[in-house]
Amino acid sequence: MTAYQSLTAHIAEYNDLLNILNTLKWDMRTKMPAGGAATRGAQLATLTKLAKDIFVSDKTARLLDAAEAEMAGADADAYATRALQQTRDAYELQKRIPAELLGRLAALGPESEAVWASAKDADDFASFQLDINIELAEAIGYEDHPFDALIQQFEPGMTAARLKVIFGQLKAGLLPLLGRIVDKDAPLPVDLWAAEYDVDGQKALCHEMAELIGFDFERGRLDIAPHPFEISFTRNDVRITTRYDANYLPMSIFAALHEAGHGLYEQNIAPALTRSALTTDFIGQYAVGGASYGAHEFSSRMWENQIGRSREFWQLHFCRLQARFPDQLADADAELFYRAVNRVRPSLIRVEADEVTYNLHIMLRTEIEMALLEGAVTVAELPELWNAKMQEYLGLTPPDDRRGVLQDVHWSAGTFANFPCYTIGNIMSAQVLAAAHQHMPELAEQLARGEYASLLAWLTEAIYQHGRAYSTDELLRRTSVEGLSVAPLLDYLERKYSDLYQLN
């Protein structure tokens, strides 16, 4: 066995532990009774510390050194070389984080999420704590801003300074567009959400929609969760979730399309990168997860919004909804449904936001996180700051914390610096789909016919198959000849909503 193969075998065992952790997290969010939070936290803490001990062990260091010596001079662009470098980078980062801190983070997660559920209902903001993430940022290390340390876990290479530039460019385009739309907005002739849509019908419809765009239910499943998510163990075991509201049909449909978009990324990673029962040629830790969280969000946001909210999609598939809900949609047609699911209305809740206002919700949260981490604002001051930014960006003031600062689970789950990944995904989705149209002149006609396989094949070839081999900027340069750029997203939104609202 070569030194590299010895390293991959060792990391594969570490990867197995990570998958056990993910299985417990999936169960926690879908099946576990609320009373199990404390003991599940202890289980996650034990496994997290065990996995950490394995990964930052002297054995890992010896195997890394041997593999690097063996592969000196190898093709820098080869999967194996990239996986080796990424493993070295992860090892050096994880070494800086005390195992005890990781254990505390893991143990607090389930209990904090349970606290969030009750705090959200009670408007009790006092239960949220920030100190542990500041401690984590200090352990990882940074030069300019503690946010820079935390975002490396989700979006390697991104910084607070770069995000501020991106956000500035987006605001310059989004705020004027939103103002023009609000001036033209008018109620639709029929309120489609006044009816009740039975959950069993929604479940069947969500399964059908996910399968329609290519999600493989032989290698995946769809379940219910309070906060929709996707989690995968290999390309052959990918779990997605959605949630249902009998009085708001779009919630389940678009969450299912969103999470199926995540699932398509995972299911189409190259088989050679998957951890097998025997061995693997590549470091299994990097066979799932995509280039970054933002890169993963590109896939989910593209399938949810640019495909799933398009006029062409509903001209073809509205009949499926009407077949499931003939009475509720008796007075509707495809165009009305298209307008209803794309109506731009500043709202309090991020997950219900339209394409134009969604990124404003993300900027608000990110700016607050940065202020928290740098000590410019205290936890006690957050509700007031949140409400001020909501008024500034969206012209709304939440009536209570439940519909304001307490609405997201992320902070209570210990996840700081994750929110920008949604906006990065939105930006990237516009760039990648524009590139797909350039590479595939027939794509518009295929999508109008409901043929999604060609787009899926192109995305697999260009992006999905590579797993974590390339960074977000590298993937973009391989497809659209430039790094992250807001211009395609702003162009897409301008075209779509100028047509929808007759702005010109």
Residues involved in catalysis: 259
Within 13 Å, how many C-alpha atoms sit on residue 401's CB side? 21
Residues 6+ away with beta carbon under 8 Å from 116: 127, 128, 406, 409, 412, 413
Distance in angstroms (rounded) separating the CA atoms of residues 257 and 240: 10
The separation between CA 418 and the C-alpha centre of its own chain, rounded to angstroms, equals: 9
Query: Cα torsion for 429, 210, 447, 249, to the nearest 10°?
Result: -90
3 state DSSP class of 244: coil
Which amino acid type is present at position 308? G
Which amino acid type is present at position 461? E
Distances from the Cα of 124 to the Cα of 105, 203, 235, 373, angstroms: 21, 33, 40, 21
Distances from the Cα of 108 to the Cα of 66, 113, 153, 291, angstroms: 37, 8, 18, 27
Q: What is the edge-to-edge ordering of all strands in the sheet holding 220-224? A: 220-224, 237-242, 230-234
Distance in angstroms (rounded) separating the CA atoms of residues 133 and 153: 12
Contact 341, 332 (CB under 8 A): no
Cβ neighbour number for residue 420 with a 10 Å cutoff: 27
Find tokens 């399938």 and name the residue. 303
Distance in angstroms (rounded) separating the CA atoms of residues 57 and 501: 59
Contacts 24+ apart (CB under 8 A), 490-493: 490/170, 490/173, 490/174, 490/177, 491/430, 492/306, 492/430, 492/434, 493/173, 493/174, 493/177, 493/355, 493/356
Distance in angstroms (rounded) separating the CA atoms of residues 120 and 408: 9
